[in-house]
Amino acid sequence: MFRLDGNVALITGGSQGIGRAIAELFAEVGARVAIVSRRLSAGQETVAHLTLMGGQAIHIQADVTNEADVKRSLDATLDRYGRLDILVNNAGVNHRLTLEATTEEVWRETFDANLRGAFLYAKHAMPHFQEQRRGCIINIAGLLGVKGGAGTSPAFAASKGALVTLTKSLAVRYGRDGIRVNCISPGFVPTESNRHLIDDAPDPAARRRDFEVGYPLGRLGRPEDIAYAALYLASGEAGWVTGVNLAVDGGLLAR
């Protein structure tokens, strides 16, 4: 169960955090992986790690907001592996600014990274999926895209909410082509990009407890929690699942 043998997966933002955890798990269960990231050294290190694990992986340095880079990374994946089966739109940014502090530049940058990148990859991957009559897109959104919060960055929340809606729209439009489109909305998962919210506190242990108290399961998320959810959605066992926004949040949304 939950094998991806013979599948090719492209994962944006795959060199660290949740993206890397997804890449590692997908490679472990048989997928050939293309990792897209802006950071060359981190991408190369991730590929070296996956290769050492016995997996097959390549790194493509690209900016997900640049359409030429998007096309180039898809072409490179197809040139190397001859097909594409799974697209994971994971790359994104969160500046964690209040409404008053959010400039138009920050707003545009956030929407470009969190929404426009997913749109561009879906747009240019779709013809390949349609030709195969099968394909899977998994968009990594965020819990703040479906619920409010006093500390919510409005740009991040709005962009992730739009990503959830984009997911549903694509699922309905392309389902008859054998293409499934789903979304994962994680709760707080400490990674390289946001761990400072805990580590930089005067008392990191107390700060972590403050975060954890809101979660019915009593802990924060781990990158592998999201990776296992992505594996299910990418696998044949989820063959009748599309248009879903799966909250992987330790029960926070149920409160």
Q: Does 214 share its domain with 228?
A: no
Q: Answer yes or no: is 54 within a domain.
A: yes
- pLDDT at residue 150 above 70? no
Q: Is 52 part of any domain?
A: yes
31 and 121 part of one domain? yes
Q: Give CA–CA dist 242/171, Å, rounded.
A: 6
Q: What is the mean pLDDT of residues 38-57?
A: 95
58 assigned to some structural domain: yes
Same domain, 46 and 93: yes
203/154 same-domain check: no
Rounded to two decimals, what is the model's pTM? 0.95
The number of distinct structural domains making up the chain is: 2
Inform me whether the pLDDT recorded for 195 exceeds 80: no
Dump pLDDT digits (tens) for 100-147: 999 999 999 999 999 999 999 999 999 999 999 999 999 999 988 888
The strand order across the sheet containing 56-61 reads 56-61, 32-37, 8-12, 86-89, 135-140, 179-186, 245-248
- The dihedral of CA 28, 31, 36, 41: what is its sign? positive
Mean pLDDT across the stretch 10-23? 97
Statement to judge: residues 96 and 214 lie in one domain: no
For 201-242, the pLDDT digits (tens) are 888 888 888 888 889 999 999 999 999 999 999 999 999 999
d(CA 248, CA 238): 16
178-194 exposure pattern, b = at least 16 Cβ within 10 A, e = fewer: ebbbbbbbbbbbbbeee
For residue 103, the domain's CATH number is 3.40.50.720
Residue 193 has pLDDT above 90, yes or no: no
Q: 44, 62, 120, 111: which is closest to 87 by C-alpha?
A: 120
Domain co-membership, 145 together with 158: yes
Q: Which distant-in-sequence residues (6+ apart) come within 8 Å of 17 by Cβ?
A: 189, 191, 192, 193, 223
Q: Please indicate, yes or no, whether residues 86 and 202 belong to a single structural domain of this protein.
A: no
Distance CA 189, CA 17 (A): 9
Structural contact between residues 134 and 8, judged by C-beta atoms closer than 8 angstroms: no
In degrees and rounded to multiples of 5, residue 100 shows phi and psi of -65, -30
Instruction: Outline where the chain has alpha helix (H).
Output: 17-28, 40-52, 67-81, 104-111, 117-132, 154-174, 196-199, 204-212, 223-234
Is 47 in the same domain as 104?
A: yes
User: pLDDT value at position 35?
Assistant: 97
Determine phi and psi for 96, rounding to 5 degrees.
50, 50
Return phi, psi of residue 33, to 5°: -120, 135
Phi (first) and psi of residue 124, to 5 degrees: -90, -20
* CA terminus-to-terminus distance, the chain: 32
Same domain, 54 and 128: yes
243 and 129 in a common domain: yes
Positive or negative torsion for Cα 251, 217, 151, 156: negative
- Domain of 116? 8-186+223-247
User: Are 147 and 82 members of one domain?
Assistant: yes
Average pLDDT of the chain is 94
Q: Are residues 57 and 177 in the same domain?
A: yes
Report the pLDDT value the prediction gives residue 23, as an integer from 0 to 100.
98
